[in-house]
A and B are shown apart, each in its own frame.
Chain A
Amino acid sequence: MIPAELLERFRVSSLERVGRVETAWNRLVHVREDGDHGLVQQMLREVHTLKGDASVAGARDVLQLCQKLEDLLEAVHEPPLEISDDLDVVVTMAIQFVGMLLRVRQGAMTGLDLEGFVRQVDDVLRETRTLPIAQRRLKRTTLREGTEAPVDRLSEATRQHLATAATTVFLEYLGARGATSRSRLRGVWSTLRDELARLHAAELAPLFERHVASALELAHKLGKRITIDLALADVRVEPRVAEAVDIAVLHLIRNAIDHGIELPEARRRAGKPEQGIVRVAVAQRDAAVEISVSDDGRGVDFAAIRKLALANHLIDPARADDEAALLELVYAPGFSTKSNVTETSGRGVGLDAVKSAIARVGGQVRIATTYRGTAITVSVPSVVRYLHAYQFLAPGGTVSLAVSARWSPAIEHAPGPDAIDPLQAIQLLSSSRQSSVEAPDTSRALALRLRWGFLEATLRAATEPRLVTAERICPTPDDHAIEVVTVDGQETLLLRPEHVADLALARGRTMAGAARST
């Protein structure tokens, strides 16, 4: 048991040390001058001492993060001394994180995700080390990535155009008179909605299932015996993400068979069943989808990586036994431990191709390996899109409406003449005798004065708004007045008030013109 007095002394002196590291870092980043390398060395000494103190004090979290901070500073220390914005942000936040760990040491640690933070540091470290020096020094490397158009089976514009048409059908359904018409229009809307959902979100399982036959064929060709085990959940991603994942998984399966799974004789010698297993598993993890491709083969050959890395000066000899550092090299472009490019899966592990394809769609790749096999996990964003909205009933109380919560509503109990009837504006409540939506008694209606920045619109309503979470099932473009969303599973018309006001204005002009002509 470490005495409380000693712990307090550790905390106070460590916070002072963190302060000195922060000052030195700011000077390094903002006041470039001769002697910068000395500044980095000074910071390394401070962090190293802090790490030692944390070890003595039993502060394992501080120790772990100091280790990462050392790694970051060592990455900076490599000549030429250049600091990208990403590196600057992550070092700054790491210093802050150490400070926060020290400050809350005596209180609750709830809410601090050290492991998550360390993963972010590792990502930056990995990219910093694999980037050519010339790219490392680029400031603002973090601005918008590549300008390549996403590969899409249907363009976003076409998808939005279809969604706009589907929304019109939904409005027709709402306004239709007669059970037959309503039923027919409901059917058309449902078909369009489902089709749009399919275009908006692609299922992963069918994509992977079709790789099984070619994987078995490849194994047969290589003289290997394998079983493909699929554990596929019903998850969906955007079509462009599905396309990237599809290619990545195909590559990873072929890689596992070519490089991971041994020949039957070798497996027998290693005490394994002759038949190897390649497992593809898909699961939803919060807002992400994780796809892992694992095998029970020989695992990554660290000796070969070490030899190649040392021969090509890709690793500091002092770190040549660090398996984590060696493993990071497999993400480097063109890195291969194979002396020959194989016909089946290209150059060596080939993870650089997988990683860049996945990164382009906002995903990440992780690798874990032992002598019992390798697992590569691809994590990509899932497709669900929600937004906060204010839901209310339209005048008349039968049609559910919503506006994005970016609008700030104020309730008016005596609507003025500028208050727009939203149903009239979107022509759902038309003067047409065919509309099933009855004209409301507007004398009893409320109005919502909506403000967003300098934009303002006032809409008549039957009820006060409530904050809800809406799911976008049929996204229309931002310049379209209406979109169909669901709130608690019920279809609701999401209005874009700025465009509804335009519609009302245009409709007013049309009606005034019609009155003049009669």
Chain B
Amino acid sequence: MTLQLPKPSGGLLTAYASHAGDAIAVQLAGTADSETRSELDAYIKQLHGESVRLAVSMVEIDMRQLEFMNSSCFKIFVAWLAQLRDLEAAKQYRILIRSNPNLLWQRRSLAALSCFAVDLVTIET
């Protein structure tokens, strides 16, 4: 099965996804704010759908090149975690978020985000 994820077309936010073995890796770069919110929302929903369809055990989100994410976009991630928690245990996958320690917002906000599902989310610096 191949991964079917479109690239967000917004110039301010880019995402590259790849699927190998039982993992999906996504690289996010640019800025996630009100301009790109709806694209990110659609993308994350599709990512969740694909992750379940492909029965992966890990989704890796590389945010090291993501310069900024506003509160609206964080809500998308919170909603994603809620969806993931609602899945039956056998269908759940883990999320690994690679973060950039030089970006203060990532250190604080991603740590807060992980508190929504500490059993499923790992933040790597």
Interfacial residues, chain A to chain B (CB-CB below 8 A): 29-30, 85-86, 88-93, 96-97, 100, 103-104, 110-114, 116-117, 120-121, 123-124, 140-145, 287, 362, 381, 386, 388, 390, 405-409, 451-453, 465-467
Contact = CB atoms under 8 A, between A and B. Distances in A.
B113 interface: yes
25 contacts: A85-B70, A89-B74, A89-B112, A90-B112, A93-B109, A96-B78, A111-B118, A113-B114, A142-B68, A142-B109, A143-B105, A144-B102, A287-B124, A388-B96, A390-B20, A405-B25, A405-B60, A406-B18, A406-B27, A406-B62, A408-B18, A408-B25, A453-B16, A453-B18, A465-B21
B115 A452 contact: no
A200 to B, nearest CB: 15
A142 B75 contact: no
Which among A103, A142, A465 has the highest number of chain B CB atoms within 10 Å? Answer: A142
A119 to B, nearest CB: 8
B35 interface: no
Given A117-B116, A362-B101, A408-B3, 9 more contacts: A30-B34, A96-B116, A111-B120, A116-B114, A117-B115, A142-B68, A386-B124, A405-B25, A406-B27
Given A120-B111, A362-B101, A100 B116 contact: yes
B102 A145 contact: yes
Which among B27, B34, B71, B104 has the highest number of chain A CB atoms within 10 Å? Answer: B71
B110 to A, nearest CB: 10
A467 B107 contact: no
A173 B70 CA distance: 50
A124 B62 CA distance: 24
A467 B22 contact: yes
Given A142-B103, A381-B125, A405-B20, A97 B70 contact: no
Contacts, number: 135
Interface of B: 3, 16, 18-23, 25, 27, 34, 58, 60, 62, 67-68, 70-72, 74-75, 78, 82, 85, 96, 101-105, 107-109, 111-120, 124-125
Contacts of A116: 111, 114-115, 118
B114 to A, nearest CB: 8
Given A100-B116, A405-B60, A89 B105 contact: yes
A88 B70 contact: yes
Nearest to A145: B104
A112 B84 CA distance: 13
B102 to A, nearest CB: 6
A467 B20 contact: yes
Contact of A120 (B25, B34, B112, B120): B112
B70 to A, nearest CB: 7
B interface: dominant SS: mixed
A110 B119 contact: yes
Given A29-B71, A405-B20, A93 B78 contact: yes
A117 B112 contact: yes
Contact of A112 (B74, B108, B115): B115
A316 B107 CA distance: 30
A143 B31 CA distance: 11
A408 B1 CA distance: 13
A406 B24 CA distance: 9
Which among A93, A145, A362, A409 has the highest number of chain B CB atoms within 10 Å? Answer: A93
A340 B101 CA distance: 38
Nearest to B121: A111
Contact of A96 (B20, B22, B75, B96): B75
Contacts of B25: 405-406, 408
Contacts of A121: 112
A317 B22 CA distance: 58
Contacts of B114: 113, 116
B75 A92 contact: yes
Nearest to A30: B34
Contacts of A112: 115-118
A407 B16 CA distance: 11
A30 B112 CA distance: 22
